[in-house]
Amino acid sequence: MEFKEVIYKRRSNRFLSDKPLKKEDLDYILEIAQRAPVGMGKYEWTRLVLLEGEALKTVQNEFVKEIGKDVSYGGSALIYILHKGASDTIDNLDGGTIAEHICLAAAEKDIGSVFLWSVTRTKDNKTINDLLQKREEEKIIAAVTLGYKASEEVRDVSHKIKILKVK
């Protein structure tokens, strides 16, 4: 698939099936996630946690209990991005590059995804943090929910970031 095609194919799909993803597709997505650039090349500062099966169901139930809805849109895999913390800026930027790599790899495999900031709303949830094996010094930056698309429906957004060209 052409690079531009992958870019245009990546949309936030919020109608995700709970059917497990193929292992080879998940392995591919995780490999691409690991290739994301991070600030100062400090790969040891970030950590990804893949949740599936019972662990994912437990987390989705905690979302419902604490936020009132499943913010992962019922997918079948949830990848958390944790960061040891250099500065809020670096931590968040690293989370951004990693999450986008995940979303683009998923798009290439025709797997639905959504970049989730909302998971930080349950950052103090012990059940979730225990599953993530979150250490004291780590912060939850974001997560990406993944799943086969139960519908092709996506939100109507303009995708027009303003550009100023100066010579």
Name the residues that contact ligand FMN, by CB under 6 A: 11-12, 114-118, 154-155, 157
What is the nearest approach in angstroms of ligand FMN to the Cβ of residue 167?
A: 30
What is the nearest approach in angstroms of ligand FMN to the Cβ of residue 166?
A: 26
What is the nearest approach in angstroms of ligand FMN to the Cβ of residue 155?
A: 6
CB-wise, 24 or 112, nearer to ligand FMN? 112
CB-wise, 7 or 27, nearer to ligand FMN? 7
Query: What does the longest C-alpha to C-alpha distance in the chain come to?
Result: 56
CB-wise, 54 or 89, nearer to ligand FMN? 89
What is the nearest approach in angstroms of ligand FMN to the Cβ of residue 146?
A: 13
Taking Cα atoms as reference points, which of 137, 88, 109 lies closest to residue 33?
109
CB-wise, 135 or 151, nearer to ligand FMN? 151
Tell me if 160 sits within 8 A of 17, measured CB to CB. Answer: no
d(CA 21, CA 129): 24
d(CA 44, CA 135): 14
Q: Which tokens go with 145?
A: 């929910």
What is the nearest approach in angstroms of ligand FMN to the Cβ of residue 139?
A: 15
CB-wise, 99 or 132, nearer to ligand FMN? 99
Q: Any idea what the Cα angle at residue 40 is, between residues 164 and 94, rounded to 5°?
A: 65
d(CA 16, CA 149): 5
